[in-house]
Structure formats: C-alpha cells, structure tokens
Structure 1
C-alpha cells in the first residue's frame, strides 16, 4: 500500500478532479472492460475511496462477480493523471451512507437515504500510478523539442511514480 504522506499526495491530486472513471469487468462475457464516471463523496483519503451507487446498477453486479477495479482521474489542464487499482465491494452500511450523504447524492435517489436501491461502493486501493507535470506548456514544448533533437534523451515533463502491491 502506501505511506500516510503518499496517501496525502494522491488525495491532493484527485480531490479537485472530483469525478473518476471506474473500470470493471462486464458481466456479459466476463472479459471485456467497462468504464463509467463516478463522483467522489469523501473529504479525505486513507487508502479507500467511496461512491454512492444503486444496488441494481450493472457495476454492482460486475463487482460481485469480480472485485478487481481500476479508477482513473485526469485533469489535462493541469497535466495531472492518476490510475488506481483495488478491490471493490458494495455495502449498505448505514454509517457510511449517513457520513457522506449530500445534496448532490440526494438528487439521484428519489427516496433519499431510505431509498431501497441505495448502496455504497467501497474501493480499497492497493496500487497505482500518477503523473504530474507542473511545467507550463512552453517548458513542455521545449523538453519535447530537445528530446527530438537529442535522439537519446527522454523529455522531462514532470513526476511519474508507481506505488503499492497486489
């Protein structure tokens, strides 16, 4: 997994992006992958991400068949890219539902917190990778041009780090 400092770094990269793409294996053939946007609901990260979902949503069935998931967060404007993999589960834990409930979520569930379809998706992250370039576009263009002139050099476009284990 990762240290508290690294978890803080990951949270700082994804918290303002808010929406990530959740990837699961399709239940139709068990091999093809399917992605859909999911909105973060928490205000801190300790190695687990939470999302609201409907119990009858395809992702809930897919996760019951195969808990392996991938979440990606991107902010091309700021050159931030994060890929996280982990194990997911669907839960009806009332404490979690109450803890993260907000008006945005309420708009999706007609009967509020008592909606019979309401559940939480809990994803325990075990590894990932992030790319973060604070260089402005001019510096990036310079690095790419320099790399093309010197065929052996790799452009220095920012930070890239892999973390975690299976």
Structure 2
C-alpha cells in the first residue's frame, strides 16, 4: 500500500474508522499544551467533529476564548488508521447535535441530563492533517518486519497521505 494511498482514500479511511473507534487526543495547538482523551462524533460531509465537554474544565474555558486552533490525534482500536488532524475549535450549543449524539456513556458525565448547566459541545472544524493506513494486521506487520530484516530493505506496512478535510 505504500505510495498508493491517495488523499481521498486516506480521508475515507479516517472518517470510516472514526465511526467505529471514536476516541482520540484533543487539545489546543499550542506549545506546552497537553492534549486529553476525548470522544468525537464525526460528520464527514462538513468536516466537523463534535465533542461533549463540561464548561467548567480548563479545556472548554480555553476554547471559549475564541479563535483557538486545535489538534486531534487519533489511533483506531485495530491500529489500522492513525491520524493527526488540525482545525478550528469553538464552543457550540447545537441542540440537534446534543440530541443526535447523546448516549448512556455521555449521560454519565451530566447528572442533570441534556439540560445540565455544565453541558457544552466543542466543535472541531477539521482543516488538514496526515493519515496513515495499514491493512496488514499483526501477522502481516510481523512478516513485513521479518522480511525487511532478512532482505535489508524497509517494511511495507501501509500508506500515508496528507489530507484536506474542509
């Protein structure tokens, strides 16, 4: 797959993978800022990823300042897709999105349910990034490493492509 992954294929793999395994590390794109685990709900048609947060967290307060750039680092549970995506962060109280993505796991963080005064949404407008895709699996990866060591070549473990998601 090396050198054969097009931006369109990489983008499709990222969005499909995010549906199945939607947790990554999200943070401000600033030196010294630590990212935190967040669960994202992707909308490929708009290039948007939605995150539930509490408005009393440092992260949400920093995003609320406005004009913040963010970075979402992602690795699928099956390790087939990895990505590092850059974009704009903003606070959004879109009730339709709250209804759409509300689930028992999200509800656990908000004692007063969908009307909890601390409930907020963080909107991540994905702009660009890099996506790595490997369909080799653990056995295929091992084979590629062994082959590379025996033949003094580098392993073919997948492809990488820069993407424009907006």
Q: TM class by shorter-chain length? A: 0.7 to 0.9
Tell me which residue corresponds to 2:60: 60
Kept in 2, the 8 Å contact 1:14–1:82? The answer is no
Aligned residues: 158
Query: What is aligned with 2:17?
Result: 13
Residue 165 of structure 1, CA deviation: 8.0
Cα distance in 1 for residues equivalent to 2:104 and 2:138: 37
> Distance between the aligned counterparts of 1:50 and 1:128, measured in 2?
17
User: Quick one: distance in 2 between partners of 1:32 and 1:117?
Assistant: 26
Q: Runs (4+) of structure 1 moved beyond 6 Å?
A: none
- TM-score with structure 1 setting the length: 0.79
TM-score (norm. length: structure 2): 0.79
Which runs of 5 or more structure 2 residues have no equivalent in the other structure? 1-6
Q: Which has the higher contact order (CA 8 A, sep 6+)?
A: 2
Query: In the alignment, is the contact (CA less than 8 A) between 1:87 and 1:123 conserved in 2?
Result: yes
Cα distance in 1, alignment partners of residues 114 and 128 from structure 2: 32
Tell me the distance in 2 between the aligned counterparts of 1:13 and 1:41: 11
- Aligned-residue CA RMSD (Å): 2.6
Please state if 1:80 is matched with 2:84. Answer: no
SS of corresponding position for 1:15: helix
SS of the residue aligned with 1:82? Answer: strand
